[in-house]
Structure 1
Amino acid sequence: MSANTQHTLVDRDKALVWHPFTQEQTALARLPVVRGSGPWLYDEGNNAYLDLVSSWWVNLFGHARPEIAASIAAQANTLEHVLFAGCTHEPAVQLCEALNQMLPLELGKFFFSDNGSTAVEVALKMAHQYWRNVCSQERRLFIGFHGGYHGDTVGAMSVGAHCGYHDQFRSFFFDSVAVPFPETWLADQDVDAREAAALDALEASLKQHAGQVAAMIVEPLVQGAAGMRMCRPQFIAQAVALARVHDTLVIFDEVMTGFGRTGTRFAFEQTGVVPDFLCVSKGITGGFLPLALTITSDPIYQAFLSDTADKAFSHGHSYTANPLACAAALASLTLLNTAETTKAWQRLTQDHKSGLHMLLQTVPCIERVRQCGTIAAFDLPEDYPLAASQLHQCFLQEGLLLRPIGRTVYLMPSYVVNAEQLHNAYERIAHVLGAQADGARAVAPAMPEISI
């Protein structure tokens, strides 16, 4: 396509579309993406960009993956949708059966929704109502962790009140308590002390609010939107143990960490504990269609059974358990459970280690280097001359789709990125960061940093 056509598309977008997490007045031109193939995205000029953020963390097996596309197409010719209140259908049941085989026996009840925020919202509402149903007790308080981001619906924002993204809406929030999150990184000498302090703060909060806390919510192992902040599995296990001692339910928000991102199918597998609620979305359909699940235990489910409607869980959406999305998820899980995918996690883990080691040797200013499975991240110093929006543009010029979160640069590629592609990407990242002075002069002035 011609340059004029490209400009026309961007201008049309600018005239009509309101983009997420964007200050529209100062936003730079959009990248006009027309197609994807494997780990690559292509613009109208057929320029290729290596998608190193999995298009907001949803793309597991590459763009336009034929197996998932074929599953959706076949389902579209059979049943595109039916209301899920009073009806059921094969793709939904098959998906629950497939997930049931992957999860511990404790997690055997599946509630469908449409996105990660809503999966969390469902868990919060279930936890709140559970206590009222079982003991007529009104538990209105939730405990989370500083930096925890759980979505943009009102309940999800309330338990993520200390993540820094929702300050404009604080007047909407219900009460929640946040305790420290003991993030750690390579060669961290003080992690033991930070974990001890965080556990002390958690225990103090649980004691102070005894009988009032409906649930504790946590992103296990990695806080995504906070800047890929990582903690050790043993901390999660100890935090859950405290919650159990104080008769508090546990919600794991694995919207981002689920389906292999941390090197195991779910992050909780590395902790040795099982939550009362598991929230999943993003990668469940391989990046094709919106779908989410809140997965819980039979004892939680039983608490909602009654001869009267007042104890039922009154929540739902028009597109709940959409058959097309379920078909995509089934194809995605088939790919997930192959030996090839397990090898890809292992290979990505090692390729990240090599790339991060190279960056440490060539870009000495980087800080807090860290990795968890297929996710790698590092921070830039506070006096680094380029802002996140500027770095984003520099990376695009190198053919890399990367979206720094503040001072944090992270890589979360799909599982089809090969060793050569990732090595080349790390070299280009080193080139951009090493040319910081020239980059600061060449790129437009810094834009407001609100994007994730």
Structure 2
Amino acid sequence: MKYYNYFPTRKFQIYQIFASNTNLGKTIFSTGLIRSSISKSHNNKYNYYLKPIQTGYPKDDDSNFVKTYIPKVIFFENLIKFKTLFKYEKPVSPHLAADNSIPSDENVLNKIKDYVSECYNESLNNGGRLFLETAGGVSSPVMSGTIQSEFYRVLRLPTILVGDSNLGGISTTLSSYESLLIRGYDIPIILLFNNENYNNHLFIEKYFNENQNSSIITPKIFSIQLPPKKECNDLTEYFQSNDENFKHVIDKLEEWHENRFNRFDEMERKAKETVWWPFTQHDKVNRVNVVDSAYKDLLINYNDNNNNAPSLSETFDGSASWWTQGLGHGNTKLTLTASYASGRYGHILFPESIHEPSLSLSESLLDGVGKNWADRVFYSDNGSTAMEVALKMALTEDYKEKGKETLILGLEGSYHGDTIGVMDACGPNIYNQKVTWYAPKGIWFTPPKILMKNNKYKIHTDINVSSYDSLSEIFSENRIDNDQLSYHYKQSIENQLYHYMNQGYKFGALIIEPVVMGAGGMIFVDPLYQHQLIKSVRSILKIPIIFDEVFTGFWRLGKQSGAEFLKINPDIAAYAKLLTGGLCPLAVTLSTEEIFKKFLGDTKVEALLHGHSYTAHPIGCLVGNTSVHEYYNLDWNKERECEEQDKLFSIWRKDILQQISCLPNVNGVFALGTLLSIELNDIDGGGYASNVAKLLIEKLSTFERNSIDDFGIKTRPLGNVVYIMSSLISDKKSIRNIEQKILKCLNS
């Protein structure tokens, strides 16, 4: 799909007209609004009427109707233009009228974007207004069968809702309003005819006055005089008599539009004055990313760097919103799920209670990421907390010895969260450098990492550099018995373990991030090393194995869990991030029954005393269950690259990786699942504190405003490591465009 860098601007207003049902007078209202808009236009400001889909053509031609009642002098001044994009003869719903020739949603949206962009460019100097009139009702389908409120959501245009003034119209109007609201539309105005038989407008106005919400735009209600009977062929007098009423509507729309952009203008300044951002050196913040909304893989950002036309534009969410996005922003299934759970439950105290969302999600997880090893699910609120719980589960009385501190085993470069406990379970690094309470409580092995350089995957160890042609080779089970590194890893790991044991160290658990260590710098660890580490620790120390899958779980890397990659199961594992598809906070810690039984006893002191007020909140649990099932239903072969010999999925093309790997400014690259990681060359050594990626990040974020095919990519580097991460629903075309932009920026 084409990227859209021509959203409403301060000078160029766009309004979308929806109706609660069909035959409610959308075109009458469109005509009145355009007449009044023209009369208020100054300095040759343009006005546009766009009807994307017209059925019943040519007998029904809404563009022609509007044109009929626009004063003829306007056409000579060229202040109004009309456009109908798709015309069908049958006077039925578009999905029926299209017969066998059904254009794709992408095709229809691109035509709409092309025309809106054309209008935008034409009105750059003097400004303008565009009114887009939909077909039928809010939930009427377009040609493909997608309902309109879903189809137009990617544009998220300010919406004028035409209410129903007939008998039963209160219900249809409020239902339509709520349907649009839960999809994230702004609805500044509701228009109805003044039908004195029912006076629906009075009730609706009273309803909104009594139910104002400071966090949601409360629409203004305008009632307009009913038009004459349908048999009347000339409505000129009707429109003339109502021009003043429609001017009031235009005034309110202008006021709302100005307030919206005034708020955009002050958000950056106010954010710098009031917000304390995580992982951010405020003294180094130049520009603030002002986000209006988000949809699928896109962030809709406000840009004021063009003083002539401050505007909104689409930017690819290149970090999957801190690794949480799996099903795209604004996913309606997740939104409806959350709304249902909110309306049914709110929140419920969880200890010694159960509700369907928590039970269903527990069953799904034990049959999914925990299949064949996990028996229990403990709920918390975020990844760091899930790992705190994992540590408490592992470090029981069984592993304590008088006078000896129980330590953990881990990998150098790992990072398990921001809370004090899991911070102590990581080696010294930039995250804990200034934390005065930090006290490292473990031993961290140095893992061999993998990067592609000059077309080869290379593993650097203390004995040699091993090269591989494909990921399939790296993840092959044959390596366990046949790869020369297997024996070397085993000997090295066991020698170190016996060394620490002989020195009197006591260990309570091994913690690893399977395959990729995220926050530590997207470190791709040789899976054979992790496999052998787990086997040796389990055999010699007989302590619990903890998988930190907060980042890697739920197909982020192309498989459901790290156990599938490593061909070995943990005793405890933590999951978050993708668990709820990016909609709301929730985390879980899974464990075996053996771990669970260690906390059984006669007193409460022996129990696992950990919890949060919002433990297993129904909204998160039900959204999580929906997300997990949606992941299962994805077509994993569609629009993905797949290495032969093994089902290792990557949305990134291997030939692109090879090109990147040969660049002199790149130390190495790898891609797995949705993740693409590029380690840049830094003569000062790299690491999280490196600024070498700053220029590349700036290049990726910019776009050519005059090109509808260009776009920005929003991402945050990890020092000298630049990573791009998509959701699990990203389309192939977008990924191909991103690959080309990355190559272009790296070469410039």
When normalised by structure 1's length, the TM-score is 0.89
In the alignment, is residue 222 of structure 1 matched against residue 528 of structure 2? no
Cα distance in 2, alignment partners of residues 161 and 189 from structure 1: 23
Larger deviation, residues 366-375 vs 190-199 = 190-199
In the alignment, is residue 406 of structure 1 matched against residue 739 of structure 2? no
Cα distance in 1, alignment partners of residues 299 and 499 from structure 2: 47
Q: Deviations over 1:345-369 (max 9, x none)?
A: 65661534243234346x4431222
Return closer, same or farther for 1:250/1:109 CA change in 2, 3 Å cut-off: same
Residue 207 of structure 1, aligned match among 501, 509, 513: 501
Deviation at 1:231, TM superposition (A): 1.6
Q: Deviations over 1:262-307 (max 9, x none)?
A: 2110122111111111010011000000000110000110111112
- SS of match in other structure, 1:220: coil
Return closer, same or farther for 1:179/1:71 CA change in 2, 3 Å cut-off: same
**Partner amino acid, structure 1, of 2:439:** F
Deviation at 1:371, TM superposition (A): 2.3
Return closer, same or farther for 1:321/1:344 CA change in 2, 3 Å cut-off: farther
Q: Which residue of 1 aligns with 2:24?
A: none
1:42-53 alignment to 2 at 5 Å? 42-44=300-302, 45-53=311-319
Q: Which residue of 1 aligns with 2:585?
A: 290
Cα distance in 2, alignment partners of residues 23 and 158 from structure 1: 23
Cα contact 1:388–1:403 (8 A) shared by 2: no
Return closer, same or farther for 1:397/1:255 CA change in 2, 3 Å cut-off: same
**Partner amino acid, structure 1, of 2:670:** R
When normalised by structure 2's length, the TM-score is 0.55
Larger deviation, residues 201-210 vs 399-408 = 201-210
Cα contact 1:345–1:415 (8 A) shared by 2: no
Q: Which residue of 1 aligns with 2:529?
A: 235
In the alignment, is residue 392 of structure 1 matched against residue 693 of structure 2? no
Cα distance in 2, alignment partners of residues 174 and 383 from structure 1: 29
Cα distance in 2, alignment partners of residues 342 and 257 from structure 1: 20
1:49-448 alignment to 2 at 5 Å? 49-102=315-368, 103-129=370-396, 131=398, 140-169=406-435, 171-186=437-452, 187=456, 188=458, 190-191=460-461, 193=463, 196=488, 199=493, 202-204=496-498, 207-208=501-502, 212-245=506-539, 246-341=541-636, 343=638, 346=641, 349=650, 351-360=652-661, 363-383=663-683, 387-398=692-703, 399-435=712-748
**Partner amino acid, structure 2, of 1:264:** K
Cα distance in 2, alignment partners of residues 268 and 137 from structure 1: 35
Cα contact 1:202–1:239 (8 A) shared by 2: no
Cα contact 2:386–2:589 (8 A) shared by 1: yes
Return closer, same or farther for 1:323/1:189 CA change in 2, 3 Å cut-off: closer
- SS of match in other structure, 1:252: strand
In the alignment, is residue 33 of structure 1 matched against residue 316 of structure 2? no
Deviation at 1:46, TM superposition (A): 2.1
In terms of fraction of residues, the more helix-rich structure is 1
**Partner amino acid, structure 1, of 2:721:** T
Return closer, same or farther for 1:136/1:268 CA change in 2, 3 Å cut-off: farther
Q: Deviations over 1:380-422 (max 9, x none)?
A: 1114996334433222114001222111111221122222211
Cα contact 2:641–2:653 (8 A) shared by 1: no
- The RMSD of aligned alpha carbons is 2.5
Return closer, same or farther for 1:424/1:105 CA change in 2, 3 Å cut-off: same
Report how many residues are paired: 433
- SS of match in other structure, 1:185: strand
Percent identical residues: 28
Cα contact 2:399–2:507 (8 A) shared by 1: no
Cα contact 2:407–2:505 (8 A) shared by 1: no
Q: Which residue of 2 aligns with 1:444?
A: none
Cα distance in 1, alignment partners of residues 538 and 340 from structure 2: 45
Cα contact 2:494–2:536 (8 A) shared by 1: no
Return closer, same or farther for 1:386/1:277 CA change in 2, 3 Å cut-off: closer
Return closer, same or farther for 1:341/1:221 CA change in 2, 3 Å cut-off: same
Cα distance in 2, alignment partners of residues 306 and 189 from structure 1: 48
Deviation at 1:226, TM superposition (A): 1.6
Return closer, same or farther for 1:46/1:209 CA change in 2, 3 Å cut-off: farther
Q: Deviations over 1:297-343 (max 9, x none)?
A: 00110111112222111010011111111111011011111142464
Deviation at 1:344, TM superposition (A): 5.7
- SS of match in other structure, 2:511: strand
**Partner amino acid, structure 1, of 2:528:** Q
**Partner amino acid, structure 2, of 1:223:** M
- SS of match in other structure, 1:166: coil
Cα contact 2:399–2:508 (8 A) shared by 1: no
Return closer, same or farther for 1:329/1:234 CA change in 2, 3 Å cut-off: same
Cα distance in 2, alignment partners of residues 315 and 352 from structure 1: 44
Return closer, same or farther for 1:397/1:121 CA change in 2, 3 Å cut-off: same
Deviation at 1:42, TM superposition (A): 0.5
Return closer, same or farther for 1:130/1:221 CA change in 2, 3 Å cut-off: farther
Cα contact 2:399–2:406 (8 A) shared by 1: no
- SS of match in other structure, 2:358: helix
Cα distance in 1, alignment partners of residues 508 and 522 from structure 2: 27
Unaligned runs of 5+ in 2: 1-8, 11-260, 303-310, 465-484, 643-648, 685-689, 704-711
Return closer, same or farther for 1:315/1:136 CA change in 2, 3 Å cut-off: farther
**Partner amino acid, structure 2, of 1:156:** V
Cα distance in 1, alignment partners of residues 692 and 528 from structure 2: 34
Unaligned runs of 5+ in 1: 436-452
- SS of match in other structure, 2:434: helix
**Partner amino acid, structure 1, of 2:329:** H
Return closer, same or farther for 1:116/1:202 CA change in 2, 3 Å cut-off: farther
Return closer, same or farther for 1:81/1:168 CA change in 2, 3 Å cut-off: same
Cα contact 1:113–1:320 (8 A) shared by 2: yes
Cα distance in 2, alignment partners of residues 234 and 101 from structure 1: 26
Larger deviation, residues 266-275 vs 155-164 = 155-164
Cα contact 1:155–1:174 (8 A) shared by 2: no
Cα contact 2:661–2:668 (8 A) shared by 1: no
- SS of match in other structure, 1:288: coil
- SS of match in other structure, 1:313: coil
Return closer, same or farther for 1:27/1:138 CA change in 2, 3 Å cut-off: same
Cα contact 2:413–2:520 (8 A) shared by 1: yes
Deviation at 1:372, TM superposition (A): 2.5
**Partner amino acid, structure 2, of 1:104:** K
- SS of match in other structure, 1:333: helix
> Which of these two proteins has the greater Rg computed from alpha carbons?
2
Cα contact 1:106–1:298 (8 A) shared by 2: no
Cα contact 1:344–1:415 (8 A) shared by 2: no
Greater relative contact order (Cα 8 A, min sep 6): structure 1 or 2?
A: 1
**Partner amino acid, structure 1, of 2:271:** D
Return closer, same or farther for 1:345/1:32 CA change in 2, 3 Å cut-off: same
Q: Which residue of 2 aligns with 1:446?
A: none
1:5-20 alignment to 2 at 5 Å? 5-20=263-278
